[in-house]
Amino acid sequence: AQSVTQPDIHITVSEGASLELRCNYSYGATPYLFWYVQSPGQGLQLLLKYFSGDTLVQGIKGFEAEFKRSQSSFNLRKPSVHWSDAAEYFCAVGAESGNTPLVFGKGTRLSVIA
């Protein structure tokens, strides 16, 4: 069965500092990987996705993620964090089958300090 682990429940970074949010997945076949961001009281916004090809994926808002099959990881990075990036971040894994839902990690809450 698919599973996603986000080891960090809460991370605090200074504005302008770099960011890396960790995500490890477990899936028997080729995974389809996603990062979503959620602001309080809001729905999910897709940051980026990986299906195949280049393992370094660029997303919106200056985010990128790197798929490492050997480590079963899909970590999210941003070189310089802005205060508006404070939110909850979810990593998710899916499958090719149309009837397979996404499986989400428990999320990492990002706080940004001045």
Partner 1 sequence: GAVVSQHPSWVICKSGTSVKIECRSLDFQATTMFWYRQFPKKSLMLMATSNEGSKATYEQGVEKDKFLINHASLTLSTLTVTSAHPEDSSFYICSARDPYSTYEQYFGPGTRLTVT
State yes or no: residue 77 binds partner 1 (CB under 8 A). no
Distance CA 60, CA 21 (A): 16
Candidates 15-23, 58-66, 71-79, 87-95: pick the segment binding partner 1 (CB under 8 A).
87-95
Q: Which of 32, 66, 73, 75 binds partner 1 (CB under 8 A)?
A: 32
The residues pairing with 64 across neighbouring beta strands, listed in sequence order, are: 58, 77
Burial class (CB in 10 A: 0-12, 13-18, 19+), 71: exposed
- Please tell me whether residue 105 binds partner 1 under the rule CB under 8 A: yes
28 is a contact residue toward partner 1 (CB under 8 A): no
The answer to the question of residue 46 lying near partner 1 (CB under 8 A) is yes
Q: Please tell me whether residue 96 binds partner 1 under the rule CB under 8 A.
A: yes
Residue positions counted in the chain: 114
